[in-house]
Chains A and B, each alone.
Chain A
Amino acid sequence: MAKVTIDGIEIEVPDGTTILQAARMIGGDIVPPAMCYYSKLKTSGGYCRTCLVKVSKGSEKDPRPMPKPVASCRTTVMDGMEVLNITSPEVLEARAGVVEMLLLNHPLDCPVCDQAGECHLQDLAYEHGKAETRYEFPRREFEKIDIGDKVQLHMTRCIMCFRCVKVADQITDGRVHGVINRGDAAEISTYIEKAIDNDFSGNVIDVCPVGALTDKTFRFKSRVWYTKPVDAHRDCPTCTGKVRLWYKGDDVARVTARKDTYGEAEEWICNSCRFEHKKTSDWVIEGPTKVDRHSVISANHYENLRLLKASIDRQRASLPHGDKVDLGTGALNPNNEEK
């Protein structure tokens, strides 16, 4: 076991736990946002850099701070480690920078995007982004393509989290899509026209944090906030059959995996459950689901955001300006926030 302190809150976790997992065990505001990490996918995480935190004390044995911010999703805790997330202006500044980069070439087409309302990038942008972009050049664009008859790839919206590639690698056999080209020309692609045809391929939709991979059977059917989630199950020969149905009126508008607080699928579901069973009679209803939806459309979310923003702005304003100033650590007390 290792003791780790995150933003002043101490917790004891098993050896090998990452900082992000430890933060999730604590819960609340101190949990770093994660756009690419997915606890159920091996080797995921480390790419988006939104979960950067500052390690102000490496461990009891070696108390030196880590020189650079680290990706909390890929850094394991050490006994005695001290981590700063929302109490470090440096981390907040770095995160704001990352958000700006992620949005740099993003089309911001939320009004016509099926993911809007449950989009992690939307949440991230509201919480950590700035109202205006400083990017004045044409944005990167890609053609929409169908990968199979049920999934559409809208690469323009992609933030390169690599989750869908890892799903194809780890839970389907015979990956046919991947990452081609490099740098800012890199894209998710099958390279040649090819359908992703596999019992579990629909899970790429659930893991996609943005609207890059969407369910064609749900396309433009409804805004997600007009649909009501209900947990249900059926006896499925391929998967566990435990799903979440999203009702619009009396109709099942779409079927997804059940997701946890952090938007991660609890269990993978098969394409048959997802795409082909859209009648109430196909399912045993377990009852309405309380969605702890960490989303911009959730109740009171804007209000909470206003407070968080005010707090971040205050911390930013206290930043010294100039080149390579050491911002110091722990300058802000989390208890001073407006209640």
Chain B
Amino acid sequence: MSEKTILKFSDETAAIAKKIVARYPEGRHKSALIPLLHLAQAEFDGWLSVPAMDCVAEFLSIQPIEAYEVASFYSMFNLKPVGKCTLEVCRTSSCWLNGAEDIVRHLEKKLGIKEGQTTADGMFTLKTVECLGSCGTAPMLQCGGDYYENLTLEKTDKLVDSLRAEGKARVYTNDNPVNID
């Protein structure tokens, strides 16, 4: 993707974006920046390229730098390309006490990559992240907005295999609630 590319939201996304903007009082549309960056990241291959951020800035009539400033502040926004599934393993206290590092080492071996890297086939990116608020079900990882908890090495294997078979991260929908009860 060259830097001169101009990206635009699809009609469907633009409609959602408009609804989000309507949540805020007159003149406070900048409030929609973070939700819209999420939309852009979902629509444009899982990461925020400069054209993707420019698209959001244009939509909200703000300076592009305002979008860059915000996108680079929050850890969930990827400013570089990522794989189809990003495995984000929590590494903070309780997860660490319960063996998060073993999960990471296991994933590194299984996927043949180091933490922070993406597999050659573009399928998986492996990351470690800070506390995801799942300390009671540690160790855990997040992928595609969903939580996978109480991990063991076997469960991690199964997860990776099934994600690979499906070819993409599962996304939680209201009709398909994963992880509840």
Contact = CB atoms under 8 A, between A and B. Distances in A.
Interface of A: 174-182, 189-192
Contacts of B63: 174-176
30 contacts: A174-B63, A175-B63, A175-B65, A175-B66, A176-B63, A176-B64, A176-B65, A177-B65, A178-B65, A178-B66, A178-B68, A178-B69, A179-B69, A180-B68, A180-B72, A180-B73, A181-B72, A181-B73, A182-B72, A182-B73, A189-B68, A190-B65, A191-B50, A191-B64, A191-B65, A191-B68, A191-B72, A192-B3, A192-B50, A192-B68
A145 B76 CA distance: 28
A179 B63 CA distance: 13
A250 to B, nearest CB: 42
Contacts of B64: 176, 191
A174 to B, nearest CB: 6
Contacts of B66: 175, 178
A175 B64 CA distance: 9
Contacts, number: 31
A179 B66 CA distance: 9
A192 B50 CA distance: 8
Contacts of B69: 178-180
User: Dominant SS at the B interface?
Assistant: helix
Contacts of A189: 68
A253 to B, nearest CB: 32
Interface centre among B63, B64, B72 (most CB of A within 10 A): B72
Given A174-B63, A175-B63, A175-B66, 18 more contacts: A175-B65, A176-B64, A177-B65, A178-B66, A178-B68, A178-B69, A179-B69, A180-B68, A180-B69, A181-B72, A182-B72, A182-B73, A191-B64, A191-B68, A191-B72, A192-B3, A192-B50, A192-B68
A160 to B, nearest CB: 13
Interface string B107-130: 000000000000000000000000
A122 to B, nearest CB: 29
Contacts of A179: 69
Interface string B44-68: 0000001000000000000111101
Contacts of A174: 63
Nearest to B71: A180
A188 to B, nearest CB: 11
Contacts of A175: 63, 65-66
Nearest to A187: B72
A189 to B, nearest CB: 8
Contacts of B68: 178, 180, 189, 191-192
Nearest to A181: B72
Interface string B3-46: 10000000000000000000000000000000000000000000
A292 B68 CA distance: 41
Contacts of B73: 180-182
B107 to A, nearest CB: 25
A219 B66 CA distance: 30
A198 to B, nearest CB: 12
A182 B65 CA distance: 15
A87 to B, nearest CB: 40
Nearest to B73: A182
A175 B68 CA distance: 12
Nearest to A177: B65
Contacts of A192: 3, 50, 68
A192 B72 CA distance: 13
A180 B65 CA distance: 9
A174 B66 CA distance: 11
A142 to B, nearest CB: 14
Interface string B69-111: 1001100000000000000000000000000000000000000
A279 B170 CA distance: 68
B56 to A, nearest CB: 14
Contacts of B3: 192
Nearest to B63: A175
A179 B68 CA distance: 9
Nearest to B65: A178
A273 to B, nearest CB: 26
A175 B48 CA distance: 21
Contacts of A191: 50, 64-65, 68, 72
A192 B63 CA distance: 13
Nearest to B68: A191
A174 B50 CA distance: 18
A283 to B, nearest CB: 35
